[in-house]
């Protein structure tokens, strides 16, 4: 470990570089250009699990379908997320920030990120993802937009032998059950030799780097098509050259190509991350990569200093305000471990913030029974999605007694309690909305 060094004070330090952390920092930088803002990114893979789609509210609280088929059927997607906000609990971040706050956050996203589309204003679109699942989204990449299922056009889904994450036959069969138009499946080999076990990233980079390869691929797709007017492909069509690759396929095949989001590692997620990080740099925000928080110092109800570790060793970071944007259990922002009694203990590991949620065994211990974090049925409400940090109306974490834990600490995104972001299709909207709300507060109080 190198000798610890002390840096000059920073106005705001944002811990976490997901959507929430990025929107917090961008909001401050846009509204208060003289502020010194630092974003700490512990690893580059935060967006590897992001589909690239932006959801706000995909599923409402109508439970009639699920009650009829509790084992197999989730709630149906909703069309108007803004109309459904009023049905959420009063403490939900959307109710706290208001529908206008959601719209302002989306407007900043639209201003920041290029190449994204929206259909009818305020209405969700349904996009094909993975191996045939449909996902409601309020914003989606332009490379996904031609594949929205509302477009009544004959469709061919093309899989690549080298990309086993996408099964064209399975996806086509599932989609055909939901639509009235023809859906065909084709699987081809990529015209390039890749190392065994190559990831989608390797495929994307190969297409980025080789124009001849892209043309040969377009020719092979064209040979397999019949009269389909659009063709769906796994989202591996380049990290940097996606628009050119799509254009080449369309010109060769006379069919509109669209990408189908895959799981980790997500090419669409990486493209989104690249744009956000570029926007942060251009706005004057310092992005500290591969930087983790090792500890903190607090005094008189305020956090005074962080101890950080990066490739150079340990150093200290002073700031007037700190924002926790590390995500929930899935992202590592909350951690579940086994307690001495065989129980599950859920903790916020950086600032030891009080973790709350339903099914609590003890209000003081933060312990849950081994099975209480999950429900027996897949589509039931899952308790682990409600576990998180309780905050006041300013999104400041509260201690167990209901008082503000630290006067200069805020929390944004899916580390908050009571959200059910996956089940309700709200993860991105919560990140954006709370990030914007906290960023605006901090910009206005500087």
Same domain, yes or no: 208 and 104: no
Question: What is the extent of the structural domain holding 341?
Answer: 5-111+271-445
* Residues 396, 278 share a domain: yes
| 281 and 428 share one domain | yes
> Do 420 and 332 fall into the same domain?
yes
CB 154 within 8 A of CB 181: yes
CB 176 within 8 A of CB 249: no
Q: Is residue 316 part of a domain?
A: yes
Residue 121 is predicted with a pLDDT of 85
Q: Which residues of the chain have pLDDT under 70?
A: 1-10, 61-75, 195-197, 339-343, 357-384, 446
Angstrom CA distances, 310 to 276, 313, 333, stand at: 21, 5, 18
pLDDT at 329: 84
In a domain, 130, yes or no: no
Domain count for the chain: 2
Q: In what order do the strands lie in the sheet with 5-6?
A: 5-6, 313-317, 302-310, 292-299
CA distance 365 to 345: 8
- Please give the C-alpha separations between residue 398 and each of 103, 265, 352, 405, 418, in angstroms, as whole numbers: 27, 35, 11, 5, 14
280 and 189 belong to one structural domain: no
- pLDDT score, position 197: 65
15 within domain boundaries: yes
Please report which helix (H) or strand (E) contains residue 346, including its range: strand 344-347
- Tell me whether residue 432 is in a domain: yes
pTM over 0.85: yes
Characterize the bridge pairing of strands 388-389 and 355-356: antiparallel
| 308 and 396 housed in the same domain | yes
**Counting beta carbons within 10 angstroms of the beta carbon of residue 300, is it exposed (0 to 12), middle (13 to 18) or buried (19 or more)?**
exposed
E strands along 110-226, which residues?
116-117, 125-129, 133-137, 140-141, 155-160, 183-188
* Under 8 Å between Cβ of 425 and 77: yes
CA-wise closest residue to 391 among 360, 430, 426: 430
Residue 301 sits in the same domain as residue 253: no
């Amino acid at each position: 470990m190198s000798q610890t060094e002390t840096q000059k004070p920073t106005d705001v330090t944002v811990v976490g570089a997901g959507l929430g952390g990025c929107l917090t920092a961008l909001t401050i930088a846009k509204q208060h250009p003289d502020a010194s803002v630092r974003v700490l990114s512990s690893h580059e893979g935060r967006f590897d699990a992001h589909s690239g789609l932006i959801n706000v509210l995909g599923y409402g609280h109508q439970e009639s379908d699920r009650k009829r088929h509790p084992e197999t059927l989730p709630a149906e997607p909703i069309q108007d997320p803004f109309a459904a906000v009023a049905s959420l609990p009063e403490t939900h971040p959307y109710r706290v920030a208001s529908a206008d706050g959601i719209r302002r956050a989306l407007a900043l996203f639209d201003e920041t990120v290029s190449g994204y589309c929206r259909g009818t204003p305020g209405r969700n679109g349904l996009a094909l993802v993975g191996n045939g699942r449909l996902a409601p989204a309020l914003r989606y990449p332009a490379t996904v937009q031609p594949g929205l299922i509302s477009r009544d056009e004959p469709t061919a889904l093309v899989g690549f032998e080298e990309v086993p994450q996408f099964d064209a036959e399975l996806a086509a069969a599932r989609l055909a059950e939901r639509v009235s138009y023809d859906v065909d499946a084709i699987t081809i080999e990529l015209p390039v030799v890749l190392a065994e076990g190559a990831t989608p990233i390797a495929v994307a980079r190969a297409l980025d780097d080789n124009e001849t390869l892209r043309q040969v691929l377009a020719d092979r797709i064209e040979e397999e098509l019949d009269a389909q007017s659009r063709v769906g492909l796994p989202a591996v069509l380049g990290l940097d050259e996606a628009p050119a690759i799509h254009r080449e396929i369309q010109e060769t095949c006379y069919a509109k190509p669209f990408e189908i989001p895959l799981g980790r590692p997500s090419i669409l997620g990486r493209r989104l991350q690249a744009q956000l990080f570029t926007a942060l740099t251009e706005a004057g925000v310092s992005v500290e990569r591969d930087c983790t928080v090792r500890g903190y110092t607090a005094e008189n109800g305020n956090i005074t200093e962080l101890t950080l570790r990066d490739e150079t060793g340990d150093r200290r970071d002073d700031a007037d305000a700190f924002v926790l944007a590390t995500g929930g259990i899935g992202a590592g922002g909350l951690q579940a471990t086994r307690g001495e009694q065989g129980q599950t203990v859920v903790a916020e590991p950086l600032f030891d913030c009080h973790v709350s949620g339903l099914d609590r065994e003890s209000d003081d211990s933060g312990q849950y029974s081994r099975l209480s974090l999950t429900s027996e049925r897949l589509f039931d409400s899952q308790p682990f999605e409600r576990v998180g940090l309780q905050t006041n109306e300013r999104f400041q974490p509260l201690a167990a007694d209901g008082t503000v834990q630290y006067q200069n600490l805020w929390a944004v995104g899916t580390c908050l309690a009571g959200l059910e972001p996956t089940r309700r299709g709200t993860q991105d909207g919560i990140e954006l909305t709370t990030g914007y709300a906290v960023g605006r507060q901090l910009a206005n109080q500087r």
